[in-house]
Amino acid sequence: MFSGTCIGDIGDFFFSFQVTMMTAGEIFQMEQDEELRIEVDCPKEKCITVELKSGMAEIFGSEMVQNTAYEFQHGSKFAIFTYHGCQILVSWTEVCT
């Protein structure tokens, strides 16, 4: 089993959490006008997947589609912003596609 750390922040709230391949991931409840910044720190063969579960959000100005997985590899730094509030699921994937 692999485990790794995802670090980031929502506004002034900084977080660090452990995700293992055995878990479903972590859901973040974002309020109106909040930004979730994520830096991916995992082995090069693994990826972080983010998925919009409810609400509306964008990644660098591009609107996210609900229930669509977006993969990011080791070294990626990105931000998710919401004007209205949303729920974001962050999890590990075993193999990048």
Fold that domain 3-93 belongs to in CATH: Jelly Rolls (2.60.120)
Write out pLDDT tens, residues 1-27: 334 444 554 454 444 544 444 456 788
| Residue 56: per-residue pLDDT | 97
pTM: 0.76
Contacts of 82 (CB under 8 A, 6+ apart): 30, 31, 32, 33, 34, 35, 55, 56, 57, 58
Q: What is the token pair recorded at 73?
A: 């590899």
Write out pLDDT tens, residues 44-92: 777 888 999 999 999 999 999 999 999 988 888 888 999 999 999 988 7
